[in-house]
Chain A
Amino acid sequence: MTSAPEAVAGARKNLAGLLVLPATLFVAVALIGPLTILFRYSLNKFVPGQFMVDALVIENYVKFFTDAYYLNVLARTVRVAVICTLACLVMGFPLAYVLARTQSRFKNLMVIAVVLPLFVGNAVRAAGWMTAFGSRGALNASLMGMGLIDQPLEIMFTETAVLIGIVAVNLPFMVLSLQSVIEGIPRNVEEAAFSLGAGPGAMFRRVLWPLALPGVLAGTILTFILAMNAYATPVLLGGPKFQMMGPLVYGQFAQQNNWPFGGAISFILMTATILLTALAHLIVQGRYRANRPAE
C-alpha cells in the first residue's frame, strides 16, 4: 500500500473502470459502430436499380476526386468554413476580452446576450431573413417602392447569406471559448507589459495573444468543425444551387439512395475537417514558438 491518495476515488476497488463505462458504451454504440458500417459501405458499389452491391473498391472516392463539381463543393465548404472561423475570431476576440474583463454587475446578462442567437433556430432565422431580405421582402419592397432600385437585391441564396448565417450561429461558441481563457489571464500581467514600455499593440501580440492561445485554438476548432459540417444554414439561406458538403452527404443518402457514394463523401468531409484542424493547430503553435525571442 502506498500512502499517496488514490488518483480516482474507488481506483483500488477497480471502480474507476466502471465510471467511464456509460460514456464509452454510448460513444461505441452511437458513433463508432455506425461510422464503421458507413466506412464499409463507402467501399461498396452502387448499381442503379440494385441499390448497393457488396464489393471492396475505391471507385466512390475516385469519383469524388475526379469530378470538378464535387471538388468545387469541397473547396467551397472549406472556403466558407475558413472565412466564418476567421470572422468569428476577429469579431469574437474583442467581445470576449470585454466580457472577460468587465466589472459590470450586468456581466451575466451580457453573457446571456451572447448566447441569445442560439435560441433562434436555423429554420426560424431563415424564415425571418425571407421576410426581411427576400426578393419580395421588406428591404427590397421599400427600396423598390422608393424607386431607388429596379431589380430586387440578391441577398437571399448567396454565399454571403450563408456566411452571415453560419457566423451568427458560431460566434457564441468562439466568444465563450475565448472568454473563459482570457478570464484566467491576470489583468496584472497586462499592466506589467504596459509598465515595461509595451503599447497596446505590442502587449496584445507578445502577452495577451500567446496566453489566450488555448482559447483561440479551442474556439477556432469548434467553429471550424461546425462550419464545415453546416447543414441547415446552407440549405435554407444558400438555396438549392448553393452546395456544401453537409447537404451533399444528405442528398446522396436521402434523394439519390446512393449510400456508398454518400459514405465516401462523409469520410472525405471528416478527414478534411480533421486534417485542416490539425494543420491550423500546427501553424498556430509554430508561429507562437517563432514569436519567442531566441536569446
Chain B
Amino acid sequence: MARLSISHLKKRYGELTVVDNVDIAVADGEFLVLLGPSGCGKTTTLRMVAGFIPPSAGQITIGERDVTNLPPWKRHCGLVFQSYALFPHMSVAQNVAFGLEMHKVPTAERGPRVAEALRLVQLGGFDERYPRQLSGGQQQRVALARALAMEPQVLLLDEPLSNLDAKLRLEVRVEIRELQRKLGLTTIMVTHDQEEALTMADRLVVMDRGKVRQIGTQRELYEKPADRFVAGFIGRSAFLDGEVTAPGRFRTAGGREIACAAAGASGPATLALRPERIAIGSEADGLPNRFATQIVHASYLGAQLDVQVALDEQERMLLQIPNRPGLSEPRPGDTITIGWAEDAGLVYPREA
C-alpha cells in the first residue's frame, strides 16, 4: 500500500471544466471518500487516478511513482465498479486469478492467493461458480476479491454499493470497511450517498462543480462546514438570508436581529443553523435569540419529528424534535417558541 497524492488536477472538455484544480492527499492506509452531487467531478477524478481519462493538467503520484502518464495496466490500482464488471466467461477463481496472471505471478502461487482473496470476502468454495450464478452482493465481493488478489497499491471504489439493495448495502459497507482496515488499504471511494460516505470514511472530500469544497473528518465537515454548500450538503441546516450589520450582529431579510458570535465583516450573508442546536419551548428560555414561530408542517419519523416552522413570511426553518413519551404532537398552525445560543449559527458571505 502507498500514499496517493493528486495535485492541481484538471480536466477540461473544450470550454467545460469538469475537474478544476483538485488537490487531494491520501495517507497510507486511509479510507477517503469523494462525495458530491452528480456531475461534481468525483467520478472523473477517480477515473483519472485509475488512468482511464488523461488529465488536462496536474499530477498524480502513487507512493514515489508519478503515474500521471502511465496507462491503467501499469498503475497497480485495484478497481471495483458499480456494475461489478466481472468477466462473465470466467469462473470466480479465474476472475480472481486474472490479475495475478497478468502480473506474471507463478502458477503455483496463484492458487493459494486466489483462495486467500476469496476467503477474505467470505466466498471460499465458490471457485467454480460463474458470475451469472451469483447474487449481486456475491458478485460485488468477487469483484473486490479480484481487485485485492493482485495486492494493488491503491484501491479505487466507484459507487460500489449503488446496485445492491438497501439491506445488503449495509452489510457490504461494513465488510468493505473492516477488510480495508485489516489490510491497511489506501482507498478512494466515490459515492453520492451521504450516509454511506459518513459511515465508511476516515476523511471526506466534498466536491461541487469540479472543485473541492472541503476536505475533513465527519465532525469537521458537520460542525465547521467551510461554506454554505457544505453546510447544506452534509447533514441538514436551516438557512436564513440577511446581512451582517456589525460584528456579532446579524439581521435577517425579514428584519429580525440575531446575536451571532460568528458574524464578522459587514455585508450580505447567510446564517446556517443545525436543527439540533435550536431549542424549543421552555428550553429556549434565557437564550439570546428567542422567537415565536408558527408550525407549517410536521412529519413523524419515529425516533424524531421534523418540524417546519415559519420565522417570517418567507423564512422557514427546520427543527428536529427527539421523540419521547408524552410528547404532544405538533400540529400545523400551532405557535412554538424557538431559540438558540449566540455561538450556534455559522455565517457565510452571500455567494454572488
Contact = CB atoms under 8 A, between A and B. Distances in A.
Interface of A: 186, 188-189, 191-199, 202, 206-207, 210-211, 292-293, 295
A193 B81 contact: no
B87 A192 contact: yes
Nearest to B90: A292
Contacts of B88: 189, 211
Contacts of A193: 87, 98, 102
Contacts of B71: 194, 199
Contacts of A186: 83, 85
Nearest to A291: B89
Interface string B79-103: 1010101111110011001110111
B89 A198 contact: no
B102 A202 contact: yes
Interface string B44-84: 00000011100000000000000000011111111101010
Contacts of A295: 93-94, 97, 107, 110-111, 114
A197 B107 contact: no
A55 B103 CA distance: 69
Contacts of A194: 51-52, 71-73
A198 B97 CA distance: 12
A195 B93 contact: no
14 contacts: A188-B81, A189-B85, A191-B85, A192-B81, A192-B143, A194-B51, A197-B76, A198-B73, A206-B87, A292-B90, A292-B94, A293-B97, A295-B97, A295-B110
B147 to A, nearest CB: 8
Given A191-B72, A211-B88, A196 B83 contact: no
Given A188-B81, A197-B103, 11 more contacts: A186-B83, A189-B88, A191-B79, A194-B52, A194-B71, A195-B75, A198-B73, A199-B71, A210-B89, A293-B101, A295-B94
A210 B102 CA distance: 17
B150 interface: yes
A186 B81 CA distance: 11
B146 interface: yes
A167 B199 CA distance: 59
Interface of B: 50-52, 71-79, 81, 83, 85-90, 93-94, 97-99, 101-103, 107, 110-111, 114, 143, 146-147, 150, 156
Given A191-B72, A192-B87, A211-B89, A197 B79 contact: no
Contacts of B74: 197
Tell me which of A186, A195, A197, A293 has the highest count of chain B C-beta atoms within 10 A of its own C-beta: A195
A197 B99 contact: yes
Nearest to B114: A295
B101 A189 contact: no
A184 to B, nearest CB: 11
Contacts of A191: 50, 52, 72, 79, 81, 85
Contacts of B51: 194-195
A209 to B, nearest CB: 10
Contact of B85 (A188, A198, A199, A210): A188
Nearest to A189: B85
Contacts of A207: 87
By Cβ-Cβ distance, the 10 closest A-B pairs, closest first, are: A197-B102, A196-B99, A188-B85, A195-B79, A194-B72, A192-B85, A198-B102, A188-B81, A197-B103, A210-B89
B82 to A, nearest CB: 8
Given A211-B88, A292-B94, A197 B73 contact: yes
A206 B99 CA distance: 12
A189 B75 CA distance: 17
A196 B81 contact: no
A196 B146 contact: yes
Contacts of A293: 94, 97, 101
B138 to A, nearest CB: 17
Given A210-B89, A295-B93, A195 B50 contact: yes
B111 A196 contact: no
Contacts of B98: 193, 196, 198, 206
A50 B74 CA distance: 77
Nearest to B52: A191
Contacts of B143: 192
Contacts of A199: 71, 73
Nearest to A199: B73
A24 B44 CA distance: 54
A194 B71 CA distance: 8
Tell me which of A189, A192, A196 has the highest count of chain B C-beta atoms within 10 A of its own C-beta: A196
A198 B71 CA distance: 10
A198 B76 CA distance: 11
Contacts of A197: 73-74, 76, 99, 102-103, 150
A292 B87 CA distance: 12
A212 to B, nearest CB: 10
B226 to A, nearest CB: 33
A194 B85 CA distance: 12
Nearest to A203: B73
A287 to B, nearest CB: 13
